[in-house]
Amino acid sequence: MKYIVLSTEKKKELQKEYGVSHVTVWSALNYITKSDLSEKIRTAALDKGGVVVAKVVPSNFVPNCECQFIHKDNTVDQTIQTFSNGFQLKIYWREGKAEIIHDSKILKSYEVEKFKEWGSLLFETQQMNDTYAE
């Protein structure tokens, strides 16, 4: 899990330079999109002084979200966690997969093998939610 840190001013420069929206730049800098355009935006961001940062989950991290547990056959089948800016983390426990969703669009998908991965996925979703408003 990584992202590119760049000043708001430089992000606006990228928007103008590429004729794209805030969301397009944000998606590229958070490695959500995987297109030629997003690669160009990431390269330009690094050329403008951006820095790639790895997301490390702090030991005291507590997500700020609403939780919903969907049960099937007396066990938790799905966990849906919804954040303030509309981001969701959906974990399908039986299927061993997880998705980060925003505006009904799947932004990222993961295979989830271990319960301990849940915290990392929550942290990534929280970070995406928190930086979206910038």
Would you state the pLDDT for residue 116? 64
The strand pairing partners of 99, in sequence order, are 90, 109
The share of the chain scoring above pLDDT 90, in percent, equals 54
The verdict on residue 91 lying in a domain is yes
Asked whether residue 60 is domain-assigned, the answer is: no
* Other residues' Cβ atoms within 10 Å of the Cβ of residue 30: 22
Asked if the structure places residue 59 within a domain, the reply is no
Structural domain range at position 127: 65-132
List % helix, strand, coil for the chain (3-state, nearest 5): 35, 30, 35
* pLDDT of res. 124: 86
**How far is it, in rounded angstroms, from Cα 98 to Cα 13?**
34
112 in any annotated domain: yes
Residue where a domain stops, chosen among 31, 54, 77: 54
Q: 104 lies in a domain? A: yes
Amino acid at 128: M
Question: Does residue 113 form part of some domain?
Answer: yes
The reply to whether 49 and 85 lie within a common domain is no
| Average pLDDT score, the chain | 89
The dihedral over CA atoms of 24, 25, 29, 33, expressed in degrees to the nearest 10, equals 20
Cβ contacts of residue 43 below 8 Å, gap of 6+? none
81-90 pLDDT, tens digit each:
999 999 999 9
Phi-psi region of 3 (alpha: psi -120 to 50; beta: other; left: phi over 0): beta
In this predicted structure, what is the pLDDT of residue 19? 96
Condensed to tens digits (0 to 9), the pLDDT of residues 10-46 reads 999 999 999 999 989 988 998 888 899 999 999 999 9
- Distance, in Å, from the CA atom of 115 to the CA atom of 65, rounded to the nearest integer, reads 18
Check whether residue 39 and residue 88 sit in a common domain.
Answer: no
**Domains contained in the chain, number:** 2
